[in-house]
């Protein structure tokens, strides 16, 4: 059977997956401190300390993407387990009980299943530069400070509500395998100071040809260190599903 391709859907979902991985790591590292740190370095050290203590977390999400002026909105839920396990489910816009796409990272491969197509995409995830799902910034928390510049951004609407924005920009290091010099990337995180939980994540990128894409993910109902079923991060190919194996690419 000739594999079917759905480029626009995959493009939007890939942004969402990248941003959810970003969200996954930062939710884990924001359960700390009752006092507001004054610098990005202090905030990041709290991230690192709490991340080391966290095993998993889950949340509902709303994801808004914009690619070449085309807007998409998706909702769902996910659960993340250290160091690189993830189960993410997109749900129907009108019926939250109906799952329309599932992505599972089992530590070795990423599996994405779309029921309406009865199709599974399989990709390799054991890249040596991605040992952990530390917010898409590298193989470890420590790497983030060397790979990204971090600043606090004044926000006249969010700050009065106790929400603080952190902007991350990749450093242009030609020796870094995770940095793409032909792509301008900007990541933003909004953190609520009352409990240090993130309330929103933003991702923006621009290619050399001027093509831009962005995504915003809002998290709700966050839970930390819950009991997880042993098979939650194991993917079983549904009966008669078409499997497109991209793991060798």
Instruction: Give the structural domain span for 228.
Output: 7-146+210-245
Structure confidence at residue 249 (pLDDT):
64
**What is the rounded distance in angstroms from the CA atom of residue 169 to the CA atom of residue 147?**
9
Position 137 in a domain: yes
pTM listed for this prediction: 0.73
What are the residues facing 217 on neighbouring strands?
A: 63, 201
Cβ(177)–Cβ(129) below 8 Å: yes
CATH of the domain at 31: 2.50.20.10
Nearest alpha carbon to residue 83 among 28, 17, 149 = 28
- 40-49, 130-139, 195-204: the lowest-pLDDT one: 130-139
Position 163 in a domain: no
Residues 6+ apart with CB under 8 A from 84: 105, 107, 125, 130, 131, 132, 133
Position 53 in a domain: yes
Number of separate domains in the chain = 1
* 132 pLDDT above the threshold of 50: no
Position 40 in a domain: yes
Position 54 in a domain: yes
Report the percent of the chain where pLDDT is more than 70.
67
Cβ(161)–Cβ(139) below 8 Å: no
Position 75 in a domain: yes
Give 39's Cβ-side CA count (13 Å radius).
4
Position 80 in a domain: yes
Position 124 in a domain: yes
As a residue count, the chain comes to 249
Q: What is the pLDDT of residues 62-120, one digit of tens each?
A: 999 998 888 999 999 999 888 788 899 999 999 999 999 999 999 889 999 999 999 99
**What is the rounded distance in angstroms from the CA atom of residue 15 to the CA atom of residue 214?**
8
Better-scored residue on pLDDT, 23 or 51: 51
List, as own/partner pairs, every contact residues 86-93 make where C-beta atoms lie below 8 angstroms and the sequence separation is at least 24, other chains included: 86/20, 86/21, 86/24, 86/133, 86/233, 87/232, 87/233, 88/17, 88/20, 90/13
């Amino acid at each position: 059977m000739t594999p079917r391709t759905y480029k626009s859907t995959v493009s939007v979902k890939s942004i969402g997956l990248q941003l959810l991985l970003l969200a996954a790591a930062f939710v884990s590292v924001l359960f700390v401190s009752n006092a507001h740190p004054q610098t990005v370095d202090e905030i990041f050290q709290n991230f690192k300390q709490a991340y080391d203590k966290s095993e998993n977390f889950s949340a509902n999400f709303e994801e808004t993407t914009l690619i070449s002026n085309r807007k998409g909105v998706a909702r769902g839920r996910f659960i993340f387990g250290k160091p690189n396990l993830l189960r993410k489910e997109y749900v129907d816009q009108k019926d939250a009980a109906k799952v329309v796409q599932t992505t599972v990272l089992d530590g070795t491969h990423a599996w994405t299943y779309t029921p309406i197509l009865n199709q599974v995409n399989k990709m390799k995830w054991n890249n040596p530069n991605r040992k952990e799902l530390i917010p898409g910034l590298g193989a470890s928390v420590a790497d983030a400070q060397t790979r990204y510049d971090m600043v606090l951004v004044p926000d006249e609407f969010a700050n009065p509500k106790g929400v603080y924005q952190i902007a991350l920009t990749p450093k242009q290091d030609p020796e870094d395998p995770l940095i793409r010099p032909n792509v301008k990337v900007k990541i933003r995180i909004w953190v609520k100071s009352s409990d240090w939980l993130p309330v929103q994540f933003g991702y923006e990128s621009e290619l050399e040809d001027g093509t831009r894409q962005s995504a915003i993910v809002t998290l709700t109902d966050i839970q930390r260190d819950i009991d997880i079923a042993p098979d939650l991060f194991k993917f079983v190919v549904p009966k008669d599903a078409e499997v497109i194996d991209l793991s060798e690419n």
